[in-house]
């Protein structure tokens, strides 16, 4: 009888311990399963945005900590009105802001600059970034602020308007802006005249000096024998192809012994231009 009671008590204790062990291990297994599911979902979500590349092998996927950092950047952009398609486009161009070397707070100064210094609205700021995502990687104090101050000094305004030109101008380094102005001054224009050309045709800041401006300027004064100040009236001269537009039309007019303004020479379509001067002997 005593033996039977001891065995029963032992069985009862064993069952109790088994239940206790089961209740302790169950939440752990459940949490682990939930963690793995969440990690896979995050990977799938970031892959859909193009941030995580689908061709990356599973053992080389970002760690959970890395994913959380990237998700924080994504959520930061979404809180500013960027849609998921917007973020996917940004990721295609600026992979760095979704890397481990970039933290979500790093983009905060850029939006403060756009809002406070540029006086752009939230929508304008978003559109400017979409037109030049590299703005998000720019240093505010050393790059964006000096560039904005210089552009305003030259007389450019309405830089908050979300155009592609404005977005890329804001992301142009100060040295590049200065070099363009110095080139125009070396060409014989005053600083005021150079600034006027830049204001009338700010796209000039995107052109290379050696590859674009120098050859066209040289042809203007040496071969066409025109006054450099004609550029004040028509700075868009630099936008036209030297080989396909400027040289052929100049030679055609020279053959006809006709002299017209740069604007009339270059703006007209081929049909209108050649029809106009075809009958001239």
Kindly report, residue by residue over 257-268, the tens digit of the pLDDT: 999 999 999 999
* Strand, coil or helix: 219: helix
pLDDT of the residue at 262: 96
Kindly report, residue by residue over 39-72, the tens digit of the pLDDT: 788 888 888 888 887 765 554 666 777 888 888 8
Q: Exposure pattern of 21-34 as b/e (b: 16+ CB <10 Å)?
A: eeeeeeeeeeeeee
pLDDT of the residue at 60: 61
Which pTM was predicted?
0.81
Within a 10 A sphere around the Cβ of 48, how many other Cβ atoms? 12
No. of helices (H) and no. of strands (E), the chain: 14, 0
Residue 126 CB contacts under 8 Å (≥ 6 apart), including other chains: 80, 81, 82, 86
Using the predicted structure, report yes or no on whether residue 6 has a pLDDT greater than 80.
no
pLDDT of the residue at 2: 38
Question: CA dist 252 to 237, 242, 256, Å?
Answer: 17, 14, 6
Kindly report, residue by residue over 169-205, the tens digit of the pLDDT: 999 999 999 999 999 999 999 999 999 999 999 999 9
Site of tokens 């033996």: 3
Using the predicted structure, report yes or no on whether residue 24 has a pLDDT greater than 80.
no
CB 36 within 8 A of CB 11: no
Q: What is the mean pLDDT of residues 126-132?
A: 97
Kindly report, residue by residue over 144-171, the tens digit of the pLDDT: 999 999 999 999 999 999 999 999 999 9
| pLDDT band at residue 103 under the 50/70/90 scheme | confident
Distance CA 213, CA 180 (A): 9
Kindly report, residue by residue over 211-237, the tens digit of the pLDDT: 999 999 999 999 999 999 999 999 999
CB 265 within 8 A of CB 249: yes
> What is residue 211's DSSP assignment?
I
Distance CA 143, CA 135 (A): 10
Using the predicted structure, report yes or no on whether residue 31 has a pLDDT greater than 60.
no
Q: Which carries the bigger pLDDT value, residue 278 or residue 92?
A: 92
The three-state DSSP-derived secondary structure of 92-138 is: HHCCHHHCCCCCHHHHHHHHHHHHHHCCCCHHHHHHHHHHCHHHHHC
Within a 10 A sphere around the Cβ of 137, how many other Cβ atoms? 16
Percent of all residues in the chain with a pLDDT value above 70, rounded to a whole number: 84
Question: What is the chain's mean pLDDT, rounded?
Answer: 86
CA terminus-to-terminus distance, the chain: 135
Q: What is the mean pLDDT of residues 99-118?
A: 91
Catalogue the E-assigned strands of the chain.
none
Distance CA 218, CA 228 (A): 10
Residue 96 CB contacts under 8 Å (≥ 6 apart), including other chains: 102, 137
């Amino acid at each position: 009888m005593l033996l039977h009671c001891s065995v029963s008590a032992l069985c009862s204790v064993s069952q109790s311990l088994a239940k206790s062990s089961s209740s302790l291990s169950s939440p752990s297994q459940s949490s682990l399963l939930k963690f793995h599911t969440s990690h896979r979902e995050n990977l799938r979500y970031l892959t859909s945005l193009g941030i995580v590349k689908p061709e990356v092998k599973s053992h080389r996927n970002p760690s959970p900590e890395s994913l959380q950092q990237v998700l924080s950047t994504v959520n930061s952009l979404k809180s500013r009105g960027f849609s998921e398609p917007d973020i996917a486009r940004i990721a295609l161009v600026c992979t760095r802001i979704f890397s481990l070397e970039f933290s979500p707070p790093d983009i905060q100064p850029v939006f403060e600059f756009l809002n406070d210094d540029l006086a752009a609205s939230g929508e304008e700021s978003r559109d400017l970034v979409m037109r030049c995502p590299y703005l998000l990687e720019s240093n505010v104090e050393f790059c964006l602020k000096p560039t904005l101050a210089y552009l305003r000094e030259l007389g450019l305004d309405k830089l908050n308007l979300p155009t592609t030109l404005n977005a890329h101008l804001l992301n142009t380094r100060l040295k590049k802006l200065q070099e363009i102005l110095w080139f125009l001054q070396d060409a014989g224009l005053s600083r005021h005249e150079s600034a006027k050309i830049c204001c009338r045709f700010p796209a000039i800041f995107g052109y290379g000096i050696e590859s674009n401006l120098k050859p066209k300027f040289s042809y203007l004064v040496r071969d066409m024998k025109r006054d450099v100040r004609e550029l004040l009236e028509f700075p868009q001269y630099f936008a036209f192809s030297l080989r396909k537009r400027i040289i052929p039309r100049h030679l055609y007019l020279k053959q006809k012994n006709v002299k017209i303004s740069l604007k009339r020479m270059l703006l007209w379509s081929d049909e209108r231009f050649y029809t106009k001067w075809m009958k001239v002997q």
